[in-house]
Amino acid sequence: MQEREAAAVSSSGGKDSVLALLRAREAGVPVRAMLSMLEETGARNRSHGIPLEVLREQARRLDLALHVRAASWADYEREFVIALRDLGALGVGQMVFGDIDLQPHRDWEEAVCRQAGLAARLPLWGEERASVAREVLERGIRAVVVCVDSLHLDDSFCGREFDARFLADLPPGVCPCGENGEFHTFVFDAPGMPGAVPIRVTGRSVYTSPPQLGSRRYCFAGLALSGLPASDSSATGGENALDCT
């Protein structure tokens, strides 16, 4: 794998993916695109529930071409591999992932990358979780908590900023990175961005997964762009604008 071979980051918009992106770029990897998988409707991404227009604005400010593909959980892997192959056809040779230490996640990522002829790169792999959380804050990566698993956190944690106070308030046993799925985040500001993504939290909603997925209760924070000029979101670096050749 060549350090300077073009790359894309697999991201739902959260803090670990953004930290992995920064680490990869610092290592000389030209990360030029972001891949985010959407729900079947194409309106929001999976797991984090981020609206497409908010993802577009984040990608633009991270200087990434946004690539999206809709999928159900049943056909998620197939559609993900198709998306990887599409990126490969545009010149991407490696994918950056933000996982820290869950081996089944790494095994899946390496397997789907092999199917698409790409290499998997995990800049955070094997690090201590609390250390990763501290680095997010120390680097000035700012994120809002957009989803909590009700098995681990009550609804009051949803919609809060991921900061030192949030970490101090976490109950015992909850991972400070949410690596076990306890919570998910959306990054609205980070080093290198020309300004924060102008978002507002519009409220909370509750979702219960279908029985085949455990009938788990989740609380989601609604996000919307706030005060963004209409012409701003049409700047370069938009959806599917990548050309690595």
Q: What does the pLDDT look like over 183-228, one tens digit per residue?
A: 999 999 999 999 999 999 999 999 998 888 788 999 999 999 997 5
User: Do 188 and 118 fall into the same domain?
Assistant: no
User: Do 71 and 166 fall into the same domain?
Assistant: no
Average confidence (pLDDT) over 37-48: 93
Backbone angles phi, psi at 137, to 5 degrees: -70, -45
Please give the model's pTM, rounded to 2 decimal places. Answer: 0.90
Integer angstrom CA distances of residue 17 from 124, 137, 154, 195:
9, 14, 24, 19
Q: Look at residue 238 and tell me if it is in a domain.
A: no
User: Do 87 and 157 fall into the same domain?
Assistant: no
Cα–Cα dist 113/115, whole Å? 5
User: Do 122 and 167 fall into the same domain?
Assistant: no
Q: What percent of the chain has pLDDT over 70?
A: 91
Q: Look at residue 78 and tell me if it is in a domain.
A: yes
Q: Look at residue 46 and tell me if it is in a domain.
A: yes
Q: Look at residue 36 and tell me if it is in a domain.
A: yes
User: Do 115 and 157 fall into the same domain?
Assistant: no
Q: Look at residue 242 and tell me if it is in a domain.
A: no
Please list the residues that pair with 120 across neighbouring strands: 95
User: Do 122 and 30 fall into the same domain?
Assistant: yes
Q: Look at residue 1 and tell me if it is in a domain.
A: no
User: Do 121 and 13 fall into the same domain?
Assistant: yes
Q: Look at residue 235 and tell me if it is in a domain.
A: no
Q: Look at residue 230 and tell me if it is in a domain.
A: no
With a cut of 50, say whether residue 181 has pLDDT above it. Answer: yes
Average pLDDT, the chain: 91
CATH number for position 146: 3.90.1490.10
With a cut of 50, say whether residue 237 has pLDDT above it. Answer: no
pLDDT in tens, 110-131: 999 999 999 999 999 999 999 9
Q: What does the pLDDT read at residue 211?
A: 87
Q: What does the pLDDT read at residue 228?
A: 54
From 98, 126, 154, the end of a domain falls on: 126
User: Do 76 and 24 fall into the same domain?
Assistant: yes
User: Do 24 and 106 fall into the same domain?
Assistant: yes
Q: What length does the chain have?
A: 245
Contacts of 149 (CB under 8 A, 6+ apart): 181, 182, 183, 216, 217, 218
Q: What does the pLDDT read at residue 231?
A: 34
pLDDT in tens, 70-94: 999 899 999 999 999 999 999 999 9
User: Do 17 and 120 fall into the same domain?
Assistant: yes
CATH number for position 90: 3.40.50.620
User: Do 17 and 66 fall into the same domain?
Assistant: yes
User: Do 55 and 106 fall into the same domain?
Assistant: yes
Q: Which residue segment(s) compose the domain that 195 sits in?
A: 139-225
Domain count, the chain: 2
